[in-house]
Structure 1
Amino acid sequence: MFSDVRTQANYQLMGRHFVGLIFSCFEEIDKKCSTKVICFQSIPKLNDPLNYDHVTLECKVVPTVQGTVSPMASSGLIRLLNILIEEEKHSYENNQKFSSDELTLLHNGAVYVQSLSQLLQVIGAPLLQLLQELLINNNNVINKLEKERDRLLVSLSTEGESV
């Protein structure tokens, strides 16, 4: 985490609103694997301003107002989800290689399905809602542009008749 905190401090030089996000797919709590998202900012240590501590911030994925998320951000979320799914798949496949008894194989499969379900719940569902909102927003823009086109065509045709 030390290098993450230092890197984050550099980003914060560009703006105080920068936050760091760490995605951990292999967090094990009470012998259960889970995905963990940590949101933080760096702060200089009191007696050593060249080194940094971190402050953990609350992180929520929430539905947005239509059109407030850029296509770059939404495509980044899609890439992130794909990366996390691939990491889960890789971990599952590695565990399956070294397991021979049926109970362990069944357990590994259940953990894998649980991890994928959690990823879809935490990232996939809000992402789907975001994409649906973007689709609605894009359709509204298309409708407005089509009405404007029709208005301009009518305007052009009436100007041509008066000349």
Structure 2
Amino acid sequence: MADNKGDFLRYAVMDADVYAMCVQHALSTEKEEIMGLLIGEVDTIHKRSYIKSTMILTRSDKKPDRVEISPEQICTASSYADKLAERMKRPWRVLGWYHSHPHITVWPSIVDLRTQATYQMMDPFFVGLIFSVYQTSGNSMNNSVYICCFQTVRNGSSCDKRCVNLEIAPSSLKSYNLEGSIKLPKILYEEEVKSHDEQTSEDMDNLTRLYNESIKTVELVHIVSYVAKPLAIDLEERLNITKKRIAELEKLKRRLIAQKNQ
């Protein structure tokens, strides 16, 4: 692939609610990488991406050092982006991808760079994001989240990274992003059930089968305890804050009306 020096992304702007969704997804497991697609619009004149939403994907292969998605999911994501574009009346499309690096550096691997290069063959403004999670420094037990926003540059047969400036823009929680966020526990549940079912065969003895079922139960409880429950608590807190804000605005409205009628 010949690299066109004029066709590359200069800047990416991600809405804060999309950032929160990506981090939440990345923190959902520290054993394997996760992956999703980014949706929004691209200003090809100024070479800027505006990331407005994301689609969490079911992993077809769960491994500590790589993640894969099927071509069918790419098509599904494109259809979802088209529906959002029609809903928002904006030229939205799939403009990038993100995945996590649990316990390792944020920088893209050679596999990441090659994957990104493949995407850029279809769209030169396609962008990649990596979220490095479960990183601790020194004796501190605090987790840090690092982000790398990048594209790939071809130098002959090798691939190098090109860092892209990333801005997190303040935003409220949009309804379509809320809909996507609450699907995360269900997707993780489906992945876990499918993974364990594939490892279960008819010729297994009862003890092995019972052991596999117990492991599956533990993993499903983990999803409920560490993903579904915190998500529900967070949304409930958001609802309470919103109700309080509405009450304050209603009170202000009544006071202004009273002052006007005086």
Give the TM-score of the pair, scaled to structure 2: 0.37
Q: Does 1:70 align with 2:70?
A: no
Of the structure 1 ranges 76-85 and 46-55, higher mean CA displacement relative to structure 2 is found in 46-55
Specify the alignment match of 2:247 in structure 1: 143
Q: Distance in 2 between matches of 1:54 and 1:126?
A: 36
One of 102, 107, 110 as aligned partner of 2:206: 102
Give me the identity figure in percent: 22
1:65-89: per-residue Cα shift (whole Å, max 9, x none)? xx96523444322222221211212
Instruction: Point out where structure 2 has 5 or more consecutive residues left out of the alignment.
Output: 1-6, 27-32, 35-58, 65-98, 102-130, 132-147, 164-169
Residues 49 and 68 of structure 1: CA distance in aligned 2, closer, same or farther (over 3 Å): farther
Of the structure 1 ranges 88-97 and 137-146, higher mean CA displacement relative to structure 2 is found in 88-97
RMSD of aligned alpha carbons: 4.3
**Superposition pairs of residues 16-95 of structure 1, within 5 angstroms:** 16=12, 22-23=33-34, 26-27=62-63, 37-38=100-101, 39=131, 41-42=149-150, 44=152, 47=155, 51-52=159-160, 70-71=173-174, 72-95=176-199
Q: Does 1:130 align with 2:234?
A: yes
1:22-46: per-residue Cα shift (whole Å, max 9, x none)? 5168447xxxxxxx94325446469
Do the aligned partners of 2:153 and 2:162 also contact (CA within 8 Å) in 1?
no
1:1-25: per-residue Cα shift (whole Å, max 9, x none)? xxxxxxxxx9x92635779865168
Of the structure 1 ranges 98-107 and 79-88, higher mean CA displacement relative to structure 2 is found in 98-107
More helix by share: 1
Could you say what secondary structure the match of 1:51 adopts? strand
Q: Distance in 1 between matches of 2:232 and 2:172?
A: 13
Do the aligned partners of 2:151 and 2:161 also contact (CA within 8 Å) in 1?
yes
Of the structure 1 ranges 88-97 and 139-148, higher mean CA displacement relative to structure 2 is found in 88-97
Do the aligned partners of 1:85 and 1:116 also contact (CA within 8 Å) in 2?
yes
AA paired with 1:70?
Answer: L
Q: Distance in 2 between matches of 1:69 and 1:49?
A: 44
Q: Distance in 1 between matches of 2:235 and 2:157?
A: 43
* TM-superposed deviation, 1:93: 3.5
Larger C-alpha radius of gyration, 1 or 2?
1
More strand by share: 2
Instruction: Point out where structure 1 has 5 or more consecutive residues left out of the alignment.
Output: 1-9, 29-35, 56-66
Q: Distance in 1 between matches of 2:225 and 2:171?
A: 21
Q: Distance in 2 between matches of 1:94 and 1:134?
A: 39
Q: Does 1:13 align with 2:9?
A: yes
* TM-superposed deviation, 1:142: 1.8
Residues 110 and 85 of structure 1: CA distance in aligned 2, closer, same or farther (over 3 Å): same
* TM-superposed deviation, 1:120: 3.5
* TM-superposed deviation, 1:150: 2.9
Residues 95 and 148 of structure 1: CA distance in aligned 2, closer, same or farther (over 3 Å): same
Q: Distance in 1 between matches of 2:246 and 2:13?
A: 34
Could you say what secondary structure the match of 1:88 adopts? helix
Give the TM-score of the pair, scaled to structure 1: 0.53
Do the aligned partners of 1:42 and 1:54 also contact (CA within 8 Å) in 2?
yes
Specify the alignment match of 1:112 in structure 2: 216
AA paired with 2:173?
Answer: S
